[in-house]
């Protein structure tokens, strides 16, 4: 479909990325993209704010931008995408942080999603700590986790952790699921990088390419 390929090229140009995937390559697939945190209690008070790092860079804002960009790329490749937070609805409402995190992954189970991708940014008391991490739990998630690791490796963030891990979302998810930490907002250099719109596009492109590696038919 030439129009779809052209549309993909336009989106790729807009996102300053090159993507080597055919438009409609993921048609019929559903993905739940979960930009982490951003939850308030029913009275509007912060319940799950996420890390705030060097220079005031907010994890929840960085990962919302990456998640929206990733959703755009996936939709352009023909996939259905459900965002747990979006520009239109940046804050979730919940009374319990762990239950809210489980509900995000439970949504992917209920939709029989092809995969669930949680996007976070890391924080440490040591300002020198840097690097991206990828976590998963079940064996059905290993191929996606490896693909994400391989694609993120090309961005020069360094690696912090890569291993199976019990987390609210990885425990809950039955579909292939990964939680990605895209670098440390507590590291001044990585905070600056993560706050930049072009780099957020590159992160989204890397996650998109990893998903295509793992699931493109």
Cα 61 to chain centroid, rounded: 12
> Which of 62, 76, 115, 120 is in the footprint of Zn ion by CB under 5 A?
120
103 close to 110: Cβ distance less than 8 angstroms: no
155 vs 19, 101, 151, CA distance in Å? 15, 28, 8
- Measured from the CB atom, the residue of 12 and 204 that comes closer to Zn ion is 204
Under rule CB under 5 A, residue 36 binds Zn ion: yes
Q: Which residue, 195, 191, 135, is CA-closest to 167?
A: 135
- Measured from the CB atom, the residue of 184 and 215 that comes closer to Zn ion is 184
- Measured from the CB atom, the residue of 27 and 91 that comes closer to Zn ion is 91
Size of the site for Zn ion (CB under 5 A): 2
Under rule CB under 5 A, residue 183 binds Zn ion: no
Q: Which residue, 215, 206, 158, is CA-closest to 19?
A: 206
Under rule CB under 5 A, residue 85 binds Zn ion: no
Under rule CB under 5 A, residue 38 binds Zn ion: no
| Paired sense of beta strands 39-40 and 92-93, if any | parallel
CB of 164 to Zn ion, least distance (A): 18
Under rule CB under 5 A, residue 151 binds Zn ion: no
List residues binding Zn ion (CB under 5 A).
Answer: 36, 120
């Amino acid at each position: 479909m030439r129009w779809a390929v052209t549309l993909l090229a336009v989106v790729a140009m807009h996102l300053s990325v090159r993507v080597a995937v055919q438009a409609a390559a993921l048609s019929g697939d559903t993905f739940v993209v979960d930009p982490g945190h951003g939850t308030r209690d029913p009275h509007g008070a912060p319940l799950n704010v996420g890390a705030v790092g060097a220079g005031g860079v907010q994890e929840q804002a960085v990962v919302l931008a990456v998640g929206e960009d990733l959703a755009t790329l996936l939709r352009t490749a023909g996939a259905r995408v459900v965002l747990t937070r979006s520009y239109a609805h940046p804050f979730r409402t919940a009374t319990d942080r762990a239950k809210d995190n489980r509900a995000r992954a439970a949504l992917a189970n209920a939709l029989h999603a092809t995969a669930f991708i949680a996007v976070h940014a890391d924080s440490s008391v040591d300002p020198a700590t840097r690097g991206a991490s990828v976590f998963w739990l079940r064996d059905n998630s290993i191929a996606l986790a490896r693909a994400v690791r391989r694609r993120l490796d090309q961005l020069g963030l360094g690696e912090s952790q890569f291993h199976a891990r019990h987390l609210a979302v990885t425990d809950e998810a039955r579909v292939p699921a990964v939680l990605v930490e895209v670098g440390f907002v507590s590291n001044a250099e990585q905070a600056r990088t993560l706050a930049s719109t072009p780099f957020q596009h590159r992160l989204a492109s890397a996650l998109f390419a990893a998903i295509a590696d793992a699931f493109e038919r």
